[in-house]
Chain A
């Protein structure tokens, strides 16, 4: 059980809440309080739009423990429109083939159960093809 860790991470995980550098305006995700661009302190909360595109992806059929319910699925590097690249599961692909450059948007979904059906349900961001 990792309940305390899930509780600490929930803000950034439910809704892509990161930081903006007050010095060079770089957008930072995940939040780390130091700007990766200019090295200065960056603690201003920034809400990402959730829009981005698939930068790279791979498909998983043999999912790790806790994630079997959604296998097979694709894990992608998503380049957010504000700059940062995040790793996340793709969802609601339907019958569409995943492609590099495919426009996607963030949704909050069940990531997994913590432990078994008696544990907490862990929610977090995934990306899906943009709703046309």
Chain B
């Protein structure tokens, strides 16, 4: 199948990260629940403060993206947020974010959902909107405050964070998006019913048939159709539900440790779900050089993977410095214990 390539070339003109301040070490979760001595999937994870949610975190990432893009927010024609933790079941996150950043009322504002790939889904839809000249600029965000059931293995990794991207024409871009490819299939690896607080997952579907199958299909098809090889990319970012999966898929597909190192944040912030691949991309853009090529492959349960490649332009040098970097957010770190974590994440029953 052919790649997704807009008629008019599109790129990223501004981007912004957000990671909340609090961290709970996986060892602390193991202490409370099930310390079987078998090792933990990440070192620690980022936890939102009690006054944070997908909306507030999206607002900060979007403000960072606007600072780098240096555009009037009134020129945005869409504000799209991909998340599986929208604060309301009914009432869009996008309208609050649009209002807070000073966007116009004549915009499309929508919330995207596709488990962990809702953010790249919004980004690819934005490519179409700008690439067809329906919009001058589009804001696409991937952001989550993921919840794991207390005692469940996902509690080690379910973290909070994400990134925002402003798309515009390729001539204005700090990184041109060359092409994209999406691969999806009906797979029962992970789900959450409408009124449930915590997700369910089926252990035997999580690895091979879900994550590895979908990412290898999207990336292999992308490489073949674009006529590129793993070594053509300076940086590669995979969805990262834990430390191990992205390292294994990189090896399986022929990418080196060096290629994935900058964008591999899960070991120190956990799995930020819709934010994960996009935060990895923002960490790469923070240090990228003009001419660098970047390959990104997200994964969302249910299931699917979006792969896309970027070519960094000379604009990156000035723009990377115009807002806080991903590493600045990672370094702003306050450790909390399980009791505070339980309070911040609403795990105590008060009535």
**Total A-B pairs in contact (CB under 8 Å)?**
55
Query: Is B321's CB within 8 Å of the partner chain A?
Result: no
User: Which listed residue (B52, B100, B332) contacts A110, Cβ 8 A?
Assistant: B52
Of all chain A residues, which has the CB nearest B22? A94
Nearest Cβ distance between residue A121 and chain B, in whole angstroms? 6
With A91-B49, A94-B334: A107-B21 Cβ-Cβ less than 8 Å? no
- Contact across chains for B87 and A121 when beta carbons are under 8 A apart: yes
- Contact across chains for B51 and A109 when beta carbons are under 8 A apart: yes
- Assembly CA distance A11 to B50 (angstroms): 23
Query: Is A74's CB within 8 Å of the partner chain B?
Result: no
Do most interface residues of chain A lie in helix, strand or loop, or is the interface mixed? mixed
- Contact across chains for B51 and A126 when beta carbons are under 8 A apart: yes
Of all chain B residues, which has the CB nearest A14? B100
Nearest Cβ distance between residue A18 and chain B, in whole angstroms? 13
Taken residue by residue from 93 to 132, chain A's Cβ proximity to chain B (1 for < 8 Å, 0 otherwise) reads as 0110000000000011111000000000101001000011
User: Which listed residue (A70, A107, A121) contacts B50, Cβ 8 A?
Assistant: A70
Query: Is B59's CB within 8 Å of the partner chain A?
Result: yes
User: Which listed residue (A15, A91, A92, A121) contacts B101, Cβ 8 A?
Assistant: A15
Q: How extensive is the interface on chain B, given as a class?
A: 20 to 34
- Assembly CA distance A96 to B220 (angstroms): 48
With A94-B21, A121-B87: A108-B60 Cβ-Cβ less than 8 Å? yes
Query: Is A10's CB within 8 Å of the partner chain B?
Result: yes
Nearest Cβ distance between residue B222 and chain A, in whole angstroms? 35
Query: Is A69's CB within 8 Å of the partner chain B?
Result: yes
Tally chain A residues at the interface, Cβ within 8 Å.
Answer: 22
Taken residue by residue from 243 to 285, chain B's Cβ proximity to chain A (1 for < 8 Å, 0 otherwise) reads as 0000000000000000000000000000000000000000000
Q: Which residues of B contact A131 (CB under 8 A)?
A: 324, 328-329, 332
- Contact across chains for A11 and B99 when beta carbons are under 8 A apart: yes
- Contact across chains for A107 and B102 when beta carbons are under 8 A apart: no
Taken residue by residue from 314 to 339, chain B's Cβ proximity to chain A (1 for < 8 Å, 0 otherwise) reads as 00000000001000110010100000
Nearest Cβ distance between residue B195 and chain A, in whole angstroms? 13
User: Which listed residue (A10, A92, A126) contacts B99, Cβ 8 A?
Assistant: A10
Query: Is B96's CB within 8 Å of the partner chain A?
Result: yes
Q: Which residues of A contact B101 (CB under 8 A)?
A: 15
- Assembly CA distance A50 to B109 (angstroms): 25
- Assembly CA distance A50 to B195 (angstroms): 37
Nearest Cβ distance between residue A107 and chain B, in whole angstroms? 6
Query: Is B55's CB within 8 Å of the partner chain A?
Result: yes
Query: Is B234's CB within 8 Å of the partner chain A?
Result: no
Query: Is B53's CB within 8 Å of the partner chain A?
Result: yes
Of all chain A residues, which has the CB nearest B87? A121
- Contact across chains for B328 and A109 when beta carbons are under 8 A apart: no
Q: Which residues of B contact A110 (CB under 8 A)?
A: 50-53, 56
- Contact across chains for B100 and A132 when beta carbons are under 8 A apart: no
Nearest Cβ distance between residue B329 and chain A, in whole angstroms? 7
Q: Which residues of A contact B52 (CB under 8 A)?
A: 109-110
Of all chain B residues, which has the CB nearest A11? B99
Nearest Cβ distance between residue B339 and chain A, in whole angstroms? 15
Nearest Cβ distance between residue A53 and chain B, in whole angstroms? 19
Q: Which residues of B contact A111 (CB under 8 A)?
A: 51
- Assembly CA distance A126 to B100 (angstroms): 13
Query: Is A47's CB within 8 Å of the partner chain B?
Result: yes
Given contacts A92-B21, A107-B60, A108-B59, 20 further A-B contacts (CB under 8 A): A14-B99, A47-B102, A70-B51, A91-B49, A108-B56, A109-B52, A109-B56, A110-B50, A110-B52, A110-B56, A121-B87, A121-B88, A123-B56, A123-B96, A131-B324, A131-B328, A131-B329, A131-B332, A132-B328, A132-B332
Query: 26 A–B contact pairs at CB < 8 A?
Result: A11-B99, A14-B100, A15-B100, A15-B102, A47-B102, A69-B50, A70-B51, A91-B49, A91-B51, A92-B49, A94-B21, A95-B334, A107-B56, A108-B59, A108-B100, A109-B56, A110-B52, A110-B53, A111-B51, A121-B87, A123-B100, A131-B324, A131-B328, A131-B332, A132-B328, A132-B332
